[in-house]
Copies of this chain bind each other. A is one copy, B any other.
Amino acid sequence: SKTYRIAAIAGDGIGKEVLPEGIRVVEAAAAKFGLSIEFTSFDWASCDYYLQHGQMMPDDWFETLKGFDAIYFGAVGWPDKVPDHISLWGSLIKFRREFDQYVNLRPVRLLPGVPCPLANRKPGDIDFFVVRENTEGEYSAVGGRVFEGTEREFVLQEAVFTRHGVDRILKFAFELANSRPRKKLTAATKSNGISISMPYWDERVVEMAKAYPGVAWDKQHIDILSARFVMQPDRFDVVVASNLFGDILSDLGPACTGTMGLAASANLNPERRFPSLFEPVHGSAPDIYGKLIANPIAMIWSGAMMLDFLGDGDASFKAAHDAIMAAIETVLVEGPRTPDVGGTANTTEVGKAVAQAL
């Protein structure tokens, strides 16, 4: 059977601490379920590489990576070394765009054993997906400065929404909602304030919804929607959002279910023309790097998502995914736990415990 080749890119900060634990657990699951997975590590896509080479990645990064089956990615960014927009646009955002990973799929789930910052919520109460558009929208490099350096200075920044881009993310989200028991979809918008792009987004939602009569949907402005993540998180099933709104909601959701240290994500090219990328949502966290206190579970959970996607329905891959999720739950309940979830263990101890629980 096929060997799946994974590019492992640690990046910066705690990316370097959590990636080895992710690999440890994915390898353990592969061994257990007879999957053939091979990791190849790259030390570029990091701010240290930038300081040496004046760019985040070698010129041939695209050629180098495009034949891999997936990218298993830690985190990028170290603002004291390289401004964030340079490091991110030179790595992660490039991957998302050039490998056309237009779906950013981010589960929000309250797991057992995790202290919840919300009052009176228990495991099972919160279980939904944020489906984030990942290649266009508010994240654009189009625009510029006018009258630079003078009192009259101003800046224009374009958001770009294409029918192609909007429709495909909506389709993915409606399909996902349609496949789930509750069949509910919420579209994030802000068409009352942002008066060109967001009314367009709303129109496309109305149009796409016609093809999914079984899905109950609504649209909510991002301000009140954020408030409802806190007040009524149980009411969500699938939340579809533009690049920026999805970014915000997919940090807010994990905050409501405990900690950024659990937030996993999949940057998908659903058509599999290019490698998809799997990464924790938390970022490089320079403030805690070096202490080995980062929670590796977001990285490990992202690894489970990777196996599920690679398997594309295959039963062994599915079993490996489910076994990792079960092992994560076991360790969250029984320990060891990192400080963010109330424990005193370090990153490696938690990674080993999850591998062990498999």
Q: Which residues of A contact B (CB under 8 A)?
A: 77, 83-85, 87-89, 93, 116-120, 138-145, 150-164, 190-200, 221-224, 226-231, 243-244, 247-248, 250-252, 254-256, 259-260, 283
- Bound together, the chains give a CA A93 to CA B190 distance in angstroms of 14
User: Looking at the complex, which one of B89, B117, B199 makes contact with A230 (CB distance below 8 Å)?
Assistant: B117
Please report the C-alpha to C-alpha distance between residue A118 and residue B164 in the assembled complex, in whole angstroms: 40
Contacts of A83 in B (CB 8 A): 191, 199
Expressed in whole angstroms, the Cα–Cα distance for A230 and B164 within the complex equals: 35
Flag if B196 contacts A155 (CB, 8 Å). yes
A256 to B230 CA separation, bound complex (whole angstroms): 7
Which label, helix, strand, loop or mixed, suits the secondary structure of the A interface?
Answer: mixed
Contact A141 B195 (CB under 8 A): yes
Number of copies: 2
Chain B residues positioned under 8 Å from A226 (CB to CB) = 226, 248, 251-252, 255
A87 CB, nearest partner CB in chain B, Å: 8
Contacts of A223 on B, CB cut-off 8 Å? Answer: 247-248, 250-252
- Cβ B161 vs Cβ A154 within 8 A: yes
Among residues of B, the one whose C-beta sits closest to the C-beta of A227 is: B255
Query: Whole-angstrom distance between the alpha carbons of A153 and B164 in the complex?
Result: 8
B-side contacts of A156, CB under 8 Å:
158-160, 196-197
Across the interface, which residues of B come within 8 angstroms of A141, CB to CB? Answer: 195-196
Q: List 28 A-B contacts (CB under 8 A).
A: A84-B192, A93-B193, A116-B119, A117-B119, A118-B119, A119-B120, A139-B193, A143-B158, A143-B196, A150-B163, A151-B163, A151-B164, A152-B163, A155-B197, A155-B200, A156-B160, A156-B197, A157-B158, A193-B247, A222-B247, A222-B248, A226-B226, A226-B248, A226-B252, A227-B251, A227-B252, A229-B255, A248-B248
